Structure 1
Amino acid sequence: MERTRIAKVDDVRLVRRGEQVEGTLHLTPHHLIFSHTPPTTEEAHTRPRELWITYPIIHTCALRPAPPASHLPSSIRIRCRDFTFVCFCFEDEKKARDVYDSIKAWTCKLGRIEKLYAFSYQPQRPEKEVNGWNLYDARREWRRLGVGEKSTEKGWRISNINTDYAVGQQYSEKPDPILTIVQFSSTYPALLPVPTSISDNTLNYAGRYRSRVRLPVLTYLHPVNNCSITRCAQPLVGVRGNRSIQDEKLLLAIFSTSHSDSNTSEPPSRPRSPQSLRSSEGDVGSQGSDPPLTDAETLEDEMISQTASDDRDEPKVYGAQQHNLIVDARPTVNALAMQAVGLGSENMDNYRFATKIYLGIDNIHVMRESLNKVIDTLKESDVTPLAPNREALAKSHWLKHIGGLLDGAGIIARQVALQHSHVLIHCSDGWDRTSQLSALGQLCLDPYYRTLEGFIVLVEKDWLSFGHQFNHRSGFLSSEKWFHIENERVGGDGNKQPSLGGQNSGAGQALENALLSAKGFFNKDNKSRDSIVDSDGELQPYDMSSTSKRSAATGKGNASDKNTTKVKETSPVFHQFLDATYQLLYRHPTRFEFNERFLRRLLYHLYSCQYGTFLYNNEKERVDAHVSEKTRSVWDYFLSRKEQFTNEKYDATINDNVRGQERLILPGPGEVRWWHELFGRTNAEMNGPTRITRYRARGNSPVDGTVLTGVETADIAVGAGAPGTELPNGDAHGFSALAAGLGGLGMSKSRGNEPSSLKREMEVEMQ
């Protein structure tokens, strides 16, 4: 109770959507509870109603003291991460301040994850009878995909190199002999599926070439054609163009696993030039005779029927001309700028067996800013019932970002299922955009992941196991920057981000930032260079003036840093994945076993901190914290209430959830809509009279509405900032060349990147 200045306040008025009710406000160690009794009739007695708000779900809290001689009440306005907006009005200003101080203390002054509600929560029956921690078993899921420790006929094995997240012991003789455990990849899962032709020794060397030792490993294997989705982090190319023979050998082995002889490493067919990549509505690398999107199921049925008549025990070889992809999710210029600090993207001269594409998906800072703009249009939801300004919603570019993810997922799904090719996905560190694209691609490919159990397995595998930084991105311990008292600020707003506009916000300024960061990078020792790059693998501005201050500091930093919220590392990455899943569910209502409410409640419990599932950044942290022993799994909540989250329209017979007969779904080209239920609004308020928004986010685009910002092979590179760009048609230049080079890809015509936006994107990447 030492954090609670006041535990109960009577005669508090709650304002929500313009409606007011009077009741009592209670403050407990984990919840803010408002109770009120609705008006009753003489014939019936109404029980008190309660509004529970868990402290971690509070995003912003503002105290507005009563102006002198105004006779107005003091108020506290709260915006929650589940888009609940409430305002509490108090007649006594002192009580209002005491409530504000108590909320602030319980929200952002805990200091440790272990003080969150999850560590004291005690479930009731029937939830108590479920154990969601046992639902995902990595070995069982790999067996389902056809990968086992003893079953290598598909060309894959499970490596134990990361078991216990260490690779062995190492002696250090200077200054004194010390025995230490050498970590392999602390952010990767313990079990790593890799090609059978690749030894653990090769993995050890290949891992050194990828950021944070997140080397290419399997995340999905197609049951019919044995083609794979693999994932990793960006390579350590740098300004010198570093290469790794082991990394090249690993990728070649991955792209050769669908061949009949899995132990050979014969290179797949040479990739085609970007101009020759011709497709229909998002089909990268398909032949001109391929059917349109609407006939994808017909084509897949024919493939399945042909497979059914053959001997299933023999490995099949599909696609005499494979066109394997390396998908870099970042904008082209952002990926190239990372070379200044020793990172970057693959030099395709060393990967002649693949084509690389850039998807132009923005980083965590842009996504956070986009959601904040959406919130700005809804922030008066506590005091007014008026509908949000749809023009302001459009300017947030939120739908453009969701659409870009769906377009990228569509490329990946079609490339694997219809083009019988392999896809490697990475962004910067491979735990944000990579997780989004990988999971969405698998949702399209595998109907098992469209069941309730399968979706849980997908989240466990591609988000939790592969190390999405839920703690950093969600900011569970909050920040004092999200609390303020109106009319009491002194000076400027320290939390306000500087404008990215103006003459100094172009690519030149961004490159200057990159060079300054690079200068700082090379002046720092190896142990401290990670501070130049944020947890998204993006550059941070290098402060020359503070060099001496950092040099004078002792130690390796504050040990409590991991228990504090870094506001600039928060971002709605998992939220975007759920939003994109909602888009697929809306387009294919009979193909998902779970309903929209399941997605909405999952986002709520991401922030509620009632369960331990999402509290840590990776598998190793959860093991070290013994989270499965000390907390309950979030899946307990859903599995014990399965009937509430089951989709009544689900048709399991359409999905053909039989191994080898899976049915493909694809996102509609350009079809995105506001998830109005999540924002607590009606469909008419958010989406207007139209059923589906065909969205163009940024006006006229030189490459009209494509998610791609560049394509690169060993022979040609087309796109903004592409190195050694060979332009098609000789006389083409700039964005005209990009349009010419990518026009044949036949991507969605709904979303694009205008040239002026590239300056802003690159500047944000430097943060």
Structure 2
Amino acid sequence: MLPSRPRLEVEDLSLRLTIPQWRRIHKALERSNVLQESLIKLVEACNDQSHSMDRWLSKLEASNWQTHVKEILTTACLAAQCIDREGASVLVHGTEGTDSTLQVTSLAQIILDPACRTIRGFQGLVEREWLQAGHPFQQRCAQSAYSNSKPRQEAPVFLLFLDCVWQILRQFPCSFEFSESFLVLLFEHAYASQFGTFLGNSTAERAKLSLPEKTVSLWSWVNRPQELERLTNPLYEANSLVIWPSVAPQSLLLWEGVFLRWNRSSKCLDEAYEEMVHIIEYNKELQNKVNTLRRQLAQLETEDPLLQTP
């Protein structure tokens, strides 16, 4: 739910505007089994290094993964636009309310609410919109896309959501407190984790298994100072504005940090990141020196009227 904003209720993919007038919008989003097949094709393409460029691009397009990213983002933007620009209440109604519904409502809140773009705000978003809303993590993330056997209820719904968040983060790199590493960490722990946060299929099931007493929360690990430092985006500057991501084909890229993570060396990226952090820290030092000199100049002007600028 969006606090201090017109209400955004959960349930798939018709959108109903109730204020100031009623209208119904249908958005056809693929079901979980289609997403799973799409992920399998994408992973196969990313891990086959024998392809020519044309063949690689053809297989990437045939997976339809980027199409799913575009459709989810487009629908989330539509819901956010109805709230922000028309002042309407929006009911997002899905078949079960546990998959594409959560993708749309979560992304709409990220677009509208700057608090959801902070580390703890995003934790709260995942907690209420995914864990408490009943997304069946145990079923959807039973095995990875590398597995030969595919349970019927498995689907990369949460991964697709994280991919969409990464697309927005890439387009607005200064508006998110967390970095790509935070999203990759959530992806990893959704599928395999020593923590209890993503175990089970519902809050009731986690309570029945006494997971809060038997396991440690992932958030308690993430919120340690050393982890927060590692996961924080050094470019972050608090932005109170609504952000509108582009869904044009040229604006949506393959999430290399997940899908090509085993096929590329991270050395250059790590070195570039370290250099960027160094430049940012050096810039802060210079800014502090400038501020100090300005204060000293202001004090001198106060003490000696002859130094005052006309």
**Equivalent residue, structure 1, for 2:6:** 227
Q: Post-superposition shift, 1:633?
A: 0.9
**Equivalent residue, structure 2, for 1:612:** 196
Q: Take 1:666 and 1:234, find their aligned partners in 2: how far apart are those partners?
A: 20
Q: Tell me how large the CA RMSD over aligned residues is.
A: 2.7
Once the two structures are superposed, the pairs formed by residues 91-490 of structure 1 within 5 Å of their partners are: 219-221=1-3, 223=4, 226-232=5-11, 255=18, 268=19, 322-323=20-21, 354-380=22-48, 389-475=56-142, 482=147
Once the two structures are superposed, the pairs formed by residues 580-659 of structure 1 within 5 Å of their partners are: 580-640=164-224, 641-652=227-238, 655-656=239-240
**Which residue of the other structure, out of 568, 573, 595, is the alignment partner of 2:152?**
568
Q: Post-superposition shift, 1:375?
A: 1.3
Q: Take 1:356 and 1:232, find their aligned partners in 2: how far apart are those partners?
A: 14
Q: Take 2:83 and 2:47, find their aligned partners in 1: how far apart are those partners?
A: 42
Contact 1:234 1:429 in 2 (8 A): no
Contact 2:13 2:29 in 1 (8 A): no
Q: Post-superposition shift, 1:678?
A: 1.2
Question: Are the structure 2 counterparts of residues 624 and 444 from structure 1 closer, same or farther at C-alpha, using a change threshold of 3 Å?
Answer: same
SS at match of 1:677: helix
**Aligned-partner residue type, residue 673 of structure 1:** L
**Which residue of the other structure, out of 252, 257, 268, is the alignment partner of 1:672?**
252
Contact 2:13 2:92 in 1 (8 A): no
Deviations 1:213-258 (A, max 9, x none): xxxxxx224x3xx4110013799xxxxxxxxxxxxxxxx9x94xxx
Q: Take 1:399 and 1:638, find their aligned partners in 2: how far apart are those partners?
A: 29
Deviations 1:566-585 (A, max 9, x none): 71110000000000000000
Q: Take 2:117 and 2:13, find their aligned partners in 1: how far apart are those partners?
A: 30
Contact 1:234 1:430 in 2 (8 A): no
Q: Post-superposition shift, 1:433?
A: 0.3
Q: Post-superposition shift, 1:593?
A: 0.1
The total of aligned residue pairs comes to 257
Contact 2:99 2:157 in 1 (8 A): yes
Q: Post-superposition shift, 1:609?
A: 2.5
Q: Post-superposition shift, 1:605?
A: 1.2
Structure showing greater radius of gyration is 1
Deviations 1:19-40 (A, max 9, x none): xxxxxxxxxxxxxxxxxxxxxx
Q: Take 1:682 and 1:417, find their aligned partners in 2: how far apart are those partners?
A: 41
Contact 2:72 2:104 in 1 (8 A): yes
**Equivalent residue, structure 2, for 1:181:** none
Q: Take 1:482 and 1:412, find their aligned partners in 2: how far apart are those partners?
A: 35
**Equivalent residue, structure 2, for 1:22:** none
Contact 2:13 2:101 in 1 (8 A): no
Q: Post-superposition shift, 1:682?
A: 5.5
Q: Percent identity?
A: 32
SS at match of 2:155: coil
Q: Post-superposition shift, 1:414?
A: 1.0
**Aligned-partner residue type, residue 174 of structure 2:** T
Q: Post-superposition shift, 1:386?
A: 8.5
Deviations 1:338-374 (A, max 9, x none): xxxxxxxxxxxxxxxx211111111001111111111
SS at match of 1:424: strand
**Aligned-partner residue type, residue 233 of structure 2:** N
Q: Post-superposition shift, 1:438?
A: 0.4
Query: Where do 5+ consecutive residues of structure 2 fail to align?
Result: 266-310
Question: Are the structure 2 counterparts of residues 631 and 356 from structure 1 closer, same or farther at C-alpha, using a change threshold of 3 Å?
Answer: same
Q: Take 2:52 and 2:122, find their aligned partners in 1: how far apart are those partners?
A: 36
Structure in which a larger fraction of residues adopt strand: 1
Contact 1:426 1:433 in 2 (8 A): no
Q: Post-superposition shift, 1:617?
A: 0.8
Q: Post-superposition shift, 1:638?
A: 1.7
Q: Post-superposition shift, 1:482?
A: 4.1
Contact 2:13 2:28 in 1 (8 A): no
Q: Take 2:13 and 2:46, find their aligned partners in 1: how far apart are those partners?
A: 37
Contact 2:119 2:177 in 1 (8 A): yes
Question: Are the structure 2 counterparts of residues 615 and 369 from structure 1 closer, same or farther at C-alpha, using a change threshold of 3 Å?
Answer: same
Contact 1:377 1:393 in 2 (8 A): yes
TM superposition outliers: structure 1 runs of 4+ over 6 Å: 384-388
Deviations 1:23-68 (A, max 9, x none): xxxxxxxxxxxxxxxxxxxxxxxxxxxxxxxxxxxxxxxxxxxxxx
Q: Post-superposition shift, 1:418?
A: 1.2
Q: Post-superposition shift, 1:472?
A: 0.7
SS at match of 2:91: strand
Q: Take 2:255 and 2:107, find their aligned partners in 1: how far apart are those partners?
A: 17
Deviations 1:482-536 (A, max 9, x none): 45xxxxxxxxxxx7xxxxxxxxxxxxxxxxxxxxxxxxxxxxxxxxxxxxxxxxx
Query: Where do 5+ consecutive residues of structure 1 fail to align?
Result: 1-218, 236-251, 256-267, 269-321, 324-353, 484-494, 496-565, 657-662, 684-767
Contact 2:116 2:125 in 1 (8 A): yes
